[in-house]
Each structure stands twice: as C-alpha cells, then as structure tokens.
C-alpha cells in the first residue's frame, strides 16, 4: 500500500470518528468550508470509467448533489462537461473557492425531501451523488429519492458502502453497477 493510500485511510478514519463525535450535520457545519474528499484520486478514475461505460455526454446537464469541495464538478469539467450545478448545504465555501463556480443551492436532504428541487424548475440529464447518499437519514431516504426523479431520469451514486439500497417503489431502477478500488458506482434510471 502506498503512502497516499495510508493518508487516505487515516483521513477516512478521522472523518468517520468526527461523524461519531459531532454527527454528520455537526461535522459539516463546523468543517465544511475546508472539506476535501480523501478518495479524490480514486474518484477521478471511477468517474472517467462511468462516463465512458454509461455513455454520458459533455452536453448533458449534471447536478452534483452534495458536491463537497467540487471534486466531481472538477473531474467532469476536465472531461469537457459544460453544464454542472453543485448543491450542498455545508461545503459551499469550499466548492466556490475550489471550482470558481457559485454554489447553485444550499439545500439539505430534508429540504430536497420537501420538494425544493422540483419547485426550482431545473431539469437535469443526470444527478451524481458522490460519497453522500449513504449519509441520508433512513427516514428521509425514500422521500429524497422520490423527489430526485422529478428533476432527472438518471441517478449515479458513488459510495464506499453497499448503502444506500434504493427500492424500486421510489421510482429508480438499478441499471448497472461496478466497483473500482472499493468505490461502488451505481446507475439508476427512472422511466417517468
């Protein structure tokens, strides 16, 4: 294992420990402006793979859901994607500083469950949620997923876990999945 892998595991452990100490919302409220995903180098590889494997086009409109410090936005930008909106309630400062883009919205998963995305009127070709969907409270997960299907027909979840497991009753069908260096990429589609 390389020193980079050791550092990533140390950072991942530190973040998990901070989640336990402060709770997820508390951690991001305190440290969101300086957040960096410790798995970013692996995300570059997996995003390049999924863009090719799932035939995503640079002309597609992308919602970078729970965008963190903009790692997905920056990767897609390198792949010539032109229209990317980032939303995150806690890391907007880190996102704007790093990407040079204004944050599109500061909505929480609870606000998304209440319909804020649909009422905004934006429609996307694909939503990418990286390292965040497994953090959605189980009580809100069905409502968040139901609301997301009103604004996009494709949803990609990148997760270091098997969670979350989406139910077809929420409007999403698992179309494909692969794992790269312990990161799971799932493509869901919506027929509506």
**Count of alpha carbons within 13 Å of 155, Cβ hemisphere only?**
26
For residue 164, is the peptide bond before it cis, meaning its omega torsion is within 30 degrees of 0? yes
Instruction: Please name which of 101, 93, 35 lies closest in space to residue 63, comparing C-alpha atoms.
Output: 101
Alpha-carbon span 87 to 192, nearest angstrom: 24
Identify the band that residue 41 occupies on the pLDDT scale cut at 50, 70 and 90. Answer: confident
Name the pTM for this structure.
Answer: 0.81
User: What are the structural domain ranges in the chain?
Assistant: 1-32, 36-189
Structure tokens at 131: 């390292």
Instruction: Please name which of 118, 128, 155 lies closest in space to residue 65, comparing C-alpha atoms.
Output: 128
60 pLDDT exceeds 80? yes
Contact 68, 99 (CB under 8 A): no
Q: Which CATH superfamily is domain 36-189 in?
A: Vaccinia Virus protein VP39 (3.40.50.150)
Name the burial class of residue 153, with classes exposed (0-12), middle (13-18) and buried (19+) by CB atoms within 10 angstroms of its CB: middle
Beta carbons within 10 angstroms of residue 46's beta carbon: 21
Residue 158: alpha-carbon gap to chain centroid: 7
Expressed in angstroms, the distance from the first to the final Cα of the chain is 45
How much is the average pLDDT of 139-158? 96
Instruction: Check residues 22 and 55 and name the one with the higher pLDDT.
Output: 55
189 pLDDT exceeds 80? yes
Instruction: Check residues 179 and 135 and name the one with the higher pLDDT.
Output: 179
Instruction: Check residues 139 and 91 and name the one with the higher pLDDT.
Output: 139
Structure tokens at 173: 């069908």
Residue 144: alpha-carbon gap to chain centroid: 13
**Count of alpha carbons within 13 Å of 78, Cβ hemisphere only?**
12
């Amino acid at each position: 294992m390389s020193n980079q892998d050791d550092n990533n595991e140390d950072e991942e452990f530190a973040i998990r420990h901070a989640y336990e100490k402060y709770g997820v919302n508390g951690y991001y409220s305190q440290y969101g402006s300086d957040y960096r995903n410790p798995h970013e180098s692996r995300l570059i590889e997996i995003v390049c793979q999924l863009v090719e494997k799932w035939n995503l086009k640079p002309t597609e409109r992308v919602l970078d859901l729970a965008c963190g410090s903009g790692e997905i936005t920056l990767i897609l930008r390198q792949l010539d994607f032109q229209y990317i909106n980032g939303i995150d309630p806690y890391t907007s400062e880190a996102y704007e500083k790093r990407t040079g883009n204004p944050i599109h919205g500061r909505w929480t998963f609870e606000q998304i469950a209440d319909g804020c995305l649909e009422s905004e009127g934006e429609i996307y070709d694909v939503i990418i949620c990286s390292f965040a969907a497994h953090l959605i409270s189980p009580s809100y997960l069905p409502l968040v997923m139901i609301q997301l299907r009103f604004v996009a027909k494709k949803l990609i979840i990148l997760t270091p876990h098997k969670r979350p497991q989406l139910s077809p009753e929420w409007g999403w069908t698992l179309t494909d999945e692969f794992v790269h260096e312990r990161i799971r990429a799932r493509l869901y589609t919506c027929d509506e």
